[in-house]
Chains A and B, each alone.
Chain A
Amino acid sequence: MGPGSGSICTTMRTYKGETLSWNLTEGILDVSLHRRPCNEIGSATLADLERLVEALASLGDEIAAVVFSSAIEAGFCAGADLRELYRGMQQVKGAERLAGVRDFLERIHRALNAIDAAPAITIAAVHGVCFGGGFELALVSDLIVADRRARFCFPELRLGLVPGFGGIPRLKRDLGNALVRDLLFTGRSINAAKALEAGLVSQVVGEGQAPRVARLTAQQVRKFDRGTARAAKQFVKPIPYAELRQEIDLFCELFQRPAVEEGLRKFVESTDALPYLP
């Protein structure tokens, strides 16, 4: 099966893909991430996300709320698929390599911007690891419900990069700049309690409860008029398009440095106990 070539019913209400699946019931679209080892985002996930964007547009007002959750025990998402990125780098050089990365970034920004701007209320139910690109996926959502074991982290600087899927502009949208800089410059992870204190997540729940609580939250938001909810969302959650565009350019500029390939090689070949640490 090729990337994103999962089975989809003609109405787009249900989908079973290689990396994510969804099902629409009673106005709530449950989106499940299920790519092992921990939902790393590569070309297959991107294709499935693009399919999801098509479904959101097609189903329109049938969807009141979307709940994102992970079926993988280790966590919500460990970030971009760095192994796929590194393998891709070995196959092409120079301008072609950069063009490939830029194309990937343009596509994932289009998909995530569309989810960010979706009329439905979107809720991420996060447990375990929520790192890098996974953190960026969660930040697209309107609400984050975190399992008390969740951890959030932007480790990109260890590779000589910045987050590339919209992380910095969206983090800045939600948090004070001091914590944004701390997370970015140190690459440290924070737990759910800290994330709640900082205003990054709206609810912290017991172990294994995040999907259930997110769905209860979705049932609550479903009660209200969708047009009003859509207007309120547009009012309180502006999308930082200009900064998102700058982020793509900055990522591509940094990506051309030799240190990035070396950093990726070290990560891919690492047998360290804590390979995510800088």
Chain B
Amino acid sequence: MPTRNLDEITTEILDLAAKKFSVPRAELKPEDDFFKKLRIDSLQALDLLTGLERHFSIELPDYELQGVTDFRTLAERIQARVG
């Protein structure tokens, strides 16, 4: 698969999150706080992490997500792992 840029990764995250948590895709923006926007708790955030790891075929240690609450920063963390 060709290397994805940050915008493409962000879009894929938003698509996956909307589908996984049944939120209208049009309501999600890169700068959104995903805990608030998706109305998820810490256990559901882990489920999102699992979905992202599978989708991007990466390992993303959860300590790298400490303090990360918006989709854009999440995409940056993933981009660093996608290679």
Contacts and interface: CB of A to CB of B under 8 A. Distances in A.
B42 A275 contact: yes
Most A CB within 10 A of own CB, among B47, B50, B54: B50
Contact of A188 (B42, B45, B63): B63
Interface of B: 35, 41-43, 45-47, 49-50, 53-54, 59, 61-63, 65-66, 69
Contacts of A272: 42
Given A151-B46, A189-B46, A277 B53 contact: no
B54 A191 contact: yes
Contacts of A74: 43
Contact of A194 (B59, B62, B63): B59
B74 to A, nearest CB: 13
Contacts of A148: 50, 54
- The interface residues of chain B, by DSSP majority, are classed as helix
Contacts of B47: 128, 149
- The interface residues of chain A, by DSSP majority, are classed as loop
A74 B53 CA distance: 19
A75 B61 contact: no
Most A CB within 10 A of own CB, among B46, B47, B53, B66: B46
Interface of A: 38, 74-75, 128-129, 148-149, 151, 186-194, 272-278
A82 B81 CA distance: 33
A273 B35 CA distance: 8
B42 A276 contact: yes
B56 to A, nearest CB: 12
A129 B46 contact: yes
A7 B12 CA distance: 50
B43 A278 contact: no
Contacts of B59: 190-191, 194
B43 A129 contact: yes
